[in-house]
Structure 1
Amino acid sequence: MSSDNERSADPGDGAPEQLALIRETVRKAKVPRAKPRTWRGAALAKELPVARVLVNKGALHLDQYFDYAVPEELDAEAQPGVRVRVRFGAGGRNVRGGRREGGGLIDGFLVERRAESDYTGALAALAYVVSPEPVLGPELLALSRAVADRYAGSLADVLQLAVPPRNGKAESRPSPEPLPPPPAPSAGSWERYAQGPAFLRALAEGGAPRAVWTALPGPHWPQEIARAMAATLASGRGALVVVPDGRAAARVDAALTGLLGPGRHALLTADSGPEKRYREWLAVRRGSVRAVVGTRAAMFAPVADLGLVAVWDDGDTSHSDDNAPFPHVREVLELRAAHGRCAFLLGGTNCTVEAAQLVESGWALPLRADREQLRIAAPLVRTVGDGELARDGAARAARLPSLAWQTVRDGLRSGPVLIQVPRRGYAPRLACVRCREPARCRHCAGPLQAPDQQGLDCAWCGRAETAWHCVACGSSRLRAQIVGARRTAEELGRAFPAVPVRTSGRDHILDSVPDAPALVVSTPGAEPVAEGGYAAALLLDGWAMVGRPDLRAGEEALRRWTAAASLVRGQPEGGTVVVVAEPTLRPVQALVRWDPVGHARRELAERAELGFPPVSRMASVTGAPPALAAFLAAAELPPEAEVLGPVPVPAGGSGRPRRPGDAPPGEPWERALLRVPPGSGAALAAALKAAQAARMSRGSGEQVRIRVDPLDIG
């Protein structure tokens, strides 16, 4: 996470060194500026005949503006912020500081109109204006530049994420007239938090408080976010809230509509479809609405007079974009809060290490309820401890010990019961029944899985396996390491034949279930909301979540457990949660005490001692060994930078979800981690960006991928 100095840095900081040298050379040369000319000698605009254009080329060595002449017939439409088409490279104009690129028409944004150009040659003319709609304003441009510099990426790549594709039908429709500010709302369920009413008052009075909000479990968080947005709107300012998925966005959307009525906010999610989403986005840009609820891409929404930015459940991986330069919602909203001097709210039923650091550094204040309110809202959490072992000697090894079965039976008397399973499918991971050696594919060494009861296949390459035998002991019998959601539903269906069993997972996610006895088997993140809350919940195979070889394994396990347990009724209403995991593990103890903040603080202290993120800033550089070695040798890293590795990285496969940094199938790649202390993150990003730009300008064919603040560092 950036330090305070880095958050308030100028968006222009961190430009590639070679580009700065080129600009300085041009300035000192004092060459008389040539009058802009077009290819065909067409008449130019009488005022401000030069257009500065950002071309839609993501290459870092082209991360600059290019000047074009404005023909007289395009003078009225060629205004800053509009989309244009220009000829670029061969047959167009020279690329300053680089070689010629392939010619042809290319998309771009007109950033500025100028009276003259510092380019001494003949300027090519704008081909045409795609649309007179100005979609790129100064604030969005400055934010995009700051994000590009922070993540060692190009401005064009960031704008691909920030500005949605054009839809002519949506653009032709006028946006509604803006409504007057609503009255300030009452505190409502914010009264349960000691500083909750004061936080709403500060928003309604035009203040800019920054808070890390540990929400109480239960169904009230969408209404609480809606009240925070309504308080901001009451001050005459705009509000932006980003949530992990469309289901969460729908809940906040319904709460805000119920509180303020329709027409006061826009919903920006991929589920809306391109036309509706672009129409909503245009309404925001035109100032018709000043409140936005959306998923990841909404972090760039051009809200006018922004007064509040908020993110819900910042630990969800959906908040990190999988497209270059891989920005994270939390970090982008921090930049917006710092540069725009607006309020900031980071909320969730869990607390990430990054959130704990914001409080530890004093950049944000904690917003929590006292233990008395927590005891009312949270369910009773139980695990397999010594008492259960005395009554059931096999409970520690059993997947469903006696306590779990009893909890299910008791819960079904009063309502639905949730069963969280770490994996989907039937038996996703298999091992030898004799020696426990993991079952792997003979072709690519990927893990074998049984998506159904028909046979085995590889999770990476997708090849079927019909005659597997263990390479260690020769056995041909398999056992499930982790039983999937469908297998669990099948087993529970046999155990409780009179009770309906519903499943929710990646292939089919339920939004809600009725308040009636039922078994709901779900993978993490796909849990449907139960009307009135679940009577009980089982969190199975906890060891599989905590035991992953990942720095964030414990934090992620606790996040998924608290998210599921928050859907269960409070302890006074009989709500019970059973987690099947080793009781002495730190995340399990944090869940039993319902203390995610304490867990995050201890994790932060340990990472500070070891120099791990977010206390340090880190970047990963991945590529073929020769290309990676050449890149590291050429990069002018900060003196305090530490290089860890390189080490081999796994190859992606057709049956395995690819992650940023995975090697292409069949190619041996390596990854190096670069670590710097706090305060040096901007210097590291600038050095990586300059080195990558230099490689691209030389036309190096070997690909090297850069990711600043990677989520997965092993």
Structure 2
Amino acid sequence: MLGLAHLDRPFDYLVDAADDETAAVGARVRIRFAGRLVDGFVLERRADSDHVGSLSYLDRAVSGEPVLTPELATLARAVADRYAGTMSDVVRLAVPPRHARTEARPADDVPPPPDAPDLAAWSSYQHADSFIGALRSESAAAPHAVWQAAPGEQWPQRLAELATAVAAAGRGTIIIVPDQRDLDRLASACEPLLGDRCVSLAAGLGPSTRYRRWLAIRRGAASVVAGTRSAVFAPVHNLGLVVVWDDGDDSLAEPRAPYPHPREVAVLRTHQQRCGFLVGGYSRTAEAQALVESGWAHDLVADRQTVRARMPRVLALSDSDARVMRDPLAHSARIPEMAFASARRAIAAGLPVLFSVPRRGYLPSLACAGCRTHVRCRACHGPVQLDQDRSGPGEILACRWCGRTERHFRCVECGGTRVRALVTGARRTAEELGRAFAGVPVVASGGSATVDAVESGARVVVATPGVEPVASGGYGAAIILDTWAYLDRADLRATEMAVRRWLAIGALVRAHGDGGELVLVADAGIRAVQAVVRWDPAGFAALELAQRAELGFPPAVTMASVDGLAADVTRFTDLIDMPAGADLLGPVPLPSGVRPPAGLADSSAAGAFDDESTDIERVLVRVGRRDGRKLAAALTQAQTRRNTKHETGPIRVQVDPHTIG
């Protein structure tokens, strides 16, 4: 467990008679390496060795509990190779720290298999019968699917039913969700069907509780695991299915080296253990679409008639709409009349209304003082701010993306020359709506003050993305404000994330036949808005994937980044044996205040990028998707060469976590 690329391999040690029984395959041991005691795991017991010199003995066997099973060790090795990391870093993510008192407790009894569940609700999805049949068959079939949840679908119940069906067939299931709120909903759905056979794993559990549940899984007392990202490594016996719900959520991005994404770990595990695979959500990522278009996975989607019957009525700002034509401020007002009208109808019917805002607190932005059109950079169309660092007469605008400055502003819509600052956010919105809907209760959910659910009845709910309360019976209307903030992000996945957020909000609204309305305060001509109006996440993902392929962006290609000081980055890239056809992009300086996340490839350099005055540069390496593994191997070899040269300058190497070769 050394974390260094040039030492990322097994080492042979002798086992004395006293440790012979305890030092089983997968057990924790302490060994002496280069004069110091370090942790290790037993990978294999054999009678001979390839080492030509003399061997040392294990210092001691820490525990006889085989926590690193052969299947888990094989998976950790594959993940490390795919992400240009070390196996020890992956094992730290996969195996929780030991808790001796918990480990000494006797194993729990294995509960009886559950009864077969009612799977009638899955009949709404095409090919669901064949998918479930393959999971329950005794032929060890390994079906792969991408599930497009229909509007208003109770996804925790559907996944609980699927896990119960697999458990009734004598196999195990792992279900990965983005955060604790989703995990609580899933656990509540699983408990009536599975009882003690299902356990939850999350980072918020204490060390004793987490290790006790993890041991219950390894010892076979639990066969269904519901958890957040690291639970994808859970040592489930006879694994039959791995599920990843809402794979586009940022919470699934691992902040520690080598930054594996649970969707890609699930794909690797499916290959190795011949188990089923399901990635689901109300929306669809380009990566999930790539699995479908490659033929590796098939669609689980409802037919268009079912989708139309279950979706809310979706409204956006269109110049052909008579309501927009009658409202001269429809395109400039933050909450236009059509949004207020939708909210009033829901409240009059005694139903809750959801107002979604990009963030809590106050979100500053600049707009034209005359028509309130948001100011954008003329070069890159990015958001701008007042440049506070420059002196002189007049206001100077600076782009937050490319840094371009502009002294003489002129609005592209009305020709105005003055700007004004707008402040928006959950707190400000709640204040405004409290005055607009006098006498109606206002509920705010965001930040540390989150609300999981609201009762039925007329009320106004103001929430930030991801913490929208679930309304009993569904919302009568949902209004999504400040949509520009979703699309203004300097991120490849900004549009995809916007569609994901908007569809998730729309899924909380009643069907249009029950009066449900979803209002997007955005131009109806925007591609992302059109995807929501049609409720067509699969079509949007296909177009997104095609455009990325044309432009050479992931997941059509594999990209890796190298961050560090200019001299260190240059020396490192010189050590890479580039695959044929590789493109080297950069180096370019990272914007001021932007730093690589924690978890450097070189653990000795942790914290080296904390100084914001340090100029950090980035180099990107791009190869074809089929050469992704070659690039990872080349990066690993370069790190090995760097370590053997005793170069200690801090760098961070990251293979795009969303692309698998």
Are 1:404 and 2:339 matched, yes or no?
yes
Give the alignment partner of residue 145 of structure 1, picking from 62, 69, 77: 77
- Work out which of the residue numbers 323, 328, 335 in structure 1 matches 2:256: 323
Specify whether residues 609 and 430 from structure 1 end up closer, same or farther in structure 2 by C-alpha distance, changes over 3 A only: closer
- Superposed CA deviations along residues 271-310 of structure 1, whole A, max 9, x for unmatched, are 3322212111111111111111111010101111111111
2:573 is equivalent to residue 632 of structure 1: yes
Following TM superposition, by how much is the alpha carbon of 1:667 offset from its aligned partner in structure 2, in angstroms? 1.2
| Aligned residue number for residue 617 of structure 1 | 558
1:356 aligned residue: 289
> For 1:345, what is the secondary structure of its paired residue?
strand
In the alignment, the residues of structure 1 paired with residue 328 and residue 369 of structure 2 have an alpha-carbon distance, to the nearest angstrom, of 22
State the partner residue of 2:10.
65
- Could you report, residue by residue, the CA deviation over 1:611-647 in whole angstroms, capped at 9, with x for unpaired residues? 2211111111111111111111221010121112221
User: Residue 169 and residue 650 in structure 1: after superposition, are their counterparts in 2 closer, same or farther (change >3 A)?
Assistant: farther
Q: C-alpha separation between the residues in 1 aligned to 2:655 and 2:156? A: 32
Q: Distance in 2 between the 1:356 and 1:404 partners? A: 33
1:422 is aligned to 2:358: yes
Contact 2:554 2:658 in 1 (8 A): no
Aligned to 1:37: none
Q: For 1:114, what is the secondary structure of its paired residue?
A: coil
Q: Do the aligned partners of residues 440 and 518 (structure 1) sit closer, same or farther apart at CA in structure 2, a change above 3 Å counting?
A: farther
For residue 217 of structure 1, what is the aligned residue in structure 2? Answer: 151
Q: CA deviation at 1:710?
A: 5.0
> 1:393 deviation in Å?
0.9
For residues 442 and 706 of structure 1, what CA distance do their matches in structure 2 show?
33
Per the alignment, residue 245 of structure 2 pairs with: 312
1:208 positional shift: 2.1
Would you say 1:484 and 2:425 are equivalent positions?
A: yes
| 1:76 aligned residue | 21
Change (3 A) 1:540 1:150: same
Map 1:80-91 onto structure 2 (within 5 A): 80-89=25-34, 91=35
Shift of 1:233: 1.2
CA distance in 1, matches of 2:301, 2:231: 27
Paired residue secondary structure (2:619): strand
Alignment of 1:497-536 (within 5 A): 497-536=438-477
SS at match of 2:45: strand
1:7 alignment counterpart: none
User: C-alpha separation between the residues in 2 aligned to 1:123 and 1:652?
Assistant: 50
Query: Within the alignment, does 1:238 sit opposite 2:172 as a pair?
Result: yes
Q: One-letter code of the match for 1:271?
A: G
Q: What are the residue-to-residue correspondences of 1:661-680 with 2, within 5 Å? A: 664=610, 665-680=612-627
Contact 2:166 2:173 in 1 (8 A): yes
Cα distance change on mapping 1:428 and 1:141 into 2, 3 Å:
farther
Residue 541 in 1 paired to residue 474 in 2? no
Q: How many residues align?
A: 614
CA distance in 1, matches of 2:578, 2:429: 51
Structure 2 portions without partners, runs of 5+? 376-383, 391-399, 410-417, 601-607
Q: Which amino acid aligns with 1:592?
A: V
- Give the secondary structure class of the aligned counterpart of 1:410: helix
Q: 1:671 to 1:175 in 2, by over 3 A?
A: same
- Contact 1:203 1:209 survives alignment (8 Å): yes
Contact 1:504 1:522 (C-alpha < 8 Å) held by counterparts: yes
Residue 180 of structure 1 pairs with residue 129 of structure 2: no
Q: 2:325 aligns with which of 390, 399, 408?
A: 390
Describe the superposition over 1:17-40 as per-residue Cα deviations: whole angstroms up to 9, x where unpaired.
xxxxxxxxxxxxxxxxxxxxxxxx
Opposite residue 559 of structure 1, the aligned amino acid is: R
Determine which of 35, 39, 50 is the counterpart of 1:107.
Answer: 39
- In the TM superposition, residue 512 of structure 1 has moved relative to its aligned partner by 1.2
Structure 1 Cα separation of the partners of residues 59 and 596 of structure 2: 41
Amino acid paired to 2:551: L
> Structure 2 length normalisation: TM-score?
0.88
Q: Is the partner of 1:668 in helix, strand or coil?
A: coil
CA contact (8 A) 1:649 1:663 kept: no
Q: Which amino acid aligns with 1:84?
A: V
Q: Is the 8 A contact 1:296 1:329 kept in 2?
A: yes
Amino acid paired to 1:636 = D
Contact 1:620 1:710 in 2 (8 A): no
Partner of 2:310: 377
Q: In 2, Cα distance between the equivalents of 1:602 and 1:258?
A: 41
What is the Cα deviation at residue 440 of structure 1? 5.7
| Long gaps (5+) in structure 1 | 1-55, 92-103, 444-458, 460-469
Q: Which residue of 2 aligns with 1:52?
A: none
> Is residue 147–residue 299 contact of structure 2 (8 Å, CA) maintained in 1?
yes
Tell me by how many angstroms 1:166 deviates. Answer: 1.3
How many angstroms apart in 1 are the aligned matches of 2:623 and 2:217?
A: 39
Indicate whether 1:582 and 2:533 are aligned.
no
Aligned equivalents of 2:422 and 2:572: distance in 1? 41
CA–CA distance in 2 between the matches of 1:301 and 1:660? Answer: 22
**Partner amino acid for 2:221?**
S
Aligned position for 2:648:
701
Code of the aligned partner of 1:396:
H
Supply the distance in 2 between the matched residues of 1:277 and 1:441 (Cα, whole angstroms).
49
Q: What secondary structure, in the 3-state scheme, does the structure 2 residue paired with 1:538 have?
A: strand
SS where residue 227 of structure 1 aligns? helix
Distance of aligned partners of 1:488 and 1:659 in 2 relative to their CA distance in 1, 3 Å threshold: farther
What is the CA–CA distance in structure 1 between the aligned matches of 2:628 and 2:205, rounded to whole Å?
A: 37
Residue 43 of structure 1 is matched in structure 2 by none
Local SS of the residue matching 1:491: helix
8 Å contact 1:431–1:438 — kept in the other structure?
no
Shift of 1:170: 2.0
Describe the superposition over 1:120-167 as per-residue Cα deviations: whole angstroms up to 9, x where unpaired. 444333222222211000000000000000000000000010001112
* Most deviating of 192-201 and 623-632: 192-201
The SS at the match of 1:396 is coil
Q: 1:601 to 1:393 in 2, by over 3 A?
A: same
Could you say what secondary structure the match of 1:152 adopts? coil
> The residue matched to 1:673 in structure 2 has which SS?
strand
Q: What is the RMSD computed on CA atoms of the aligned residues?
A: 2.5
SS across alignment from 1:679: helix
CA gap 1:120/1:198 in 2 versus in 1, 3 angstroms: closer
CA contact (8 A) 1:432 1:439 kept: no
Superposition deviation, residue 482 in structure 1: 5.4
- How far did residue 352 of structure 1 move? 0.8
Of the three residues 260, 269, 274, the one matched with 1:336 is 269
Cα distance, 1:652 vs structure 2: 4.0
Three-state SS of the structure 1 residue aligned to 2:59 is: strand
Distance 2:94 2:284 in 1: 27
**What is the identity, as a one-letter code, of the residue corresponding to 1:132?**
G
Deviation at 1:428, TM superposition (A): 4.7
Counterpart of 1:308 in 2: which secondary structure?
Answer: strand
In structure 1, what residue type is equivalent to 2:45? R
